[in-house]
Amino acid sequence: MRERITLITGATRGIGRACAERLASEGHAVIGIARSLPDSDFPGEAYAVDLTNRQATADVLAEITSTYAVNGIVNNVGLTSHQPVEDYDLDTFDDEIQVNLTCTVQTVQACVPRMKQEGFGRIVNISTELVLGHFNRTGYTAAKAGLHALIRTWSYELAPHGITINSVAPGPVGTEMFTEKNPVGSTQRDAKIAKIPVGRIGRTEDIAGAVAYFMAEETSWVTGQNLFVDGGSGLGGTGLL
């Protein structure tokens, strides 16, 4: 069987942590990158780096790829702010583009040469249903929409080398950040649940399951696709976060 070595950004909490645990349970050797090191129960190796820093990110990726033959990437890390466009700070824009979009380019540039040598690779980007439109999310939605464009462009480039690239666009998921802003039992949270056809907030495991599908060796004929995993919340074309 092929050895699976998978790099996950933003791996210590929420969706990233769920992906790490799911893929590790399926035999992947997991390498996590995050702003801070995880607890001792993390199912793999971990590196701490400030992903808003392009050079620091490049340095840690160089260290990882010189040590591990990475053949899988889950570009999960995300950064979002909540500002109306007229008040939007351009330094914040730079950080959101770096973390949500440029960092994805960096991981792929670092890992794809080895994937091409192996003739195999799986790349999954974590997007968001907010690309369908939402207020006060200028940088976040622009960057995440960019991920959708990248999967289609890179599919043309990478598919001949046995490398697939797809994305998963979550709806409202009960991460720590989401729950902090939408406490259980709050009017705001209940209003969001009421707009989800499935009738509940998503679980991080829901997203990890979709990621595992795209990461499987059996899905070699699936590339350039974006899968909304949102309980149906995006059916009306409006984001709920």
Determine the Cα–Cα distance for residues 56 and 213; give it in Å rounded to an integer.
31
The CA–CA distances, whole Å, from 217 to 142, 152, 222, 227 equal 31, 20, 10, 18
- Show the CA angle centred on residue 110, arms to residues 108 and 115, nearest 5°: 70
Residue 171: its H or E element: none
Q: What is the DSSP string of 189-235?
A: HHHHHHT-TT-S-B-HHHHHHHHHHHHSGGGTT--S-EEEESTTTTT
Determine the Cα–Cα distance for residues 210 and 116; give it in Å rounded to an integer.
24
8 Å CB contact between 23 and 30: yes
Residue 127: its H or E element: none
- Residue ranges of the alpha helices (H) in 69-223? 90-97, 103-118, 138-158, 176-181, 187-194, 204-215
Catalytic choice (47, 68, 88, 140): 140
Does 68 qualify as catalytic in the annotation? Answer: no
8 Å CB contact between 167 and 125: yes
Determine the Cα–Cα distance for residues 112 and 81; give it in Å rounded to an integer.
31
Catalytic residues: 140
